[in-house]
Structures are given as C-alpha cells and as structure tokens.
Copies of this chain bind each other. A is one copy, B any other.
C-alpha cells in the first residue's frame, strides 16, 4: 500500500464507476484482468499506483480504452 493522493483516488473512482456500470464485482474484474482482487480493491481505494501495463489490462477487462479510464487523472 502507498499513501493515497487525489490523483490515485481519481483513477480509483474511474475504475469503480466503469466496473459498476458493467455490473462487475471486484473479483470478476480481477479475474478478467488477470490481477488479484485485493489489488483491484487497493486501486479503487486510491492506495495503489498501477503501472501503465496494469492500467491497460484493467481498461481491457472493463471493455473501455486505456485513455478512457485515465480521464481527469491529472498531476
């Protein structure tokens, strides 16, 4: 875990909203993305700083573009 900040929380919010809109559980999203459910949970809480590879995997699993889930995620 790392110290949260507005940027990571903004990214986490994007992931959670996209996941909710697809009616996926965190477990299902993790399975589709090939990642651990606790990692997805940490991302949505803004306490993870995912690499661009995992960002892209999560986007693909959500059926959206990588740039879509990075909207509003500004330094």
Contacts and interface: CB of A to CB of B under 8 A. Distances in A.
Nearest to A49: B51
A75 interface: yes
Interface centre among A56, A60, A66, A75 (most CB of B within 10 A): A75
Interface residues of A, number: 24
A8 B75 CA distance: 20
A67 interface: yes
A73 interface: yes
B60 A74 contact: yes
Interface of A: 5, 7-8, 11, 49-53, 55-57, 59-60, 65-68, 70-75
18 contacts: A7-B52, A7-B56, A8-B52, A49-B53, A50-B52, A55-B55, A56-B75, A59-B74, A59-B75, A60-B75, A65-B74, A66-B70, A66-B71, A67-B68, A67-B70, A67-B71, A67-B73, A70-B70
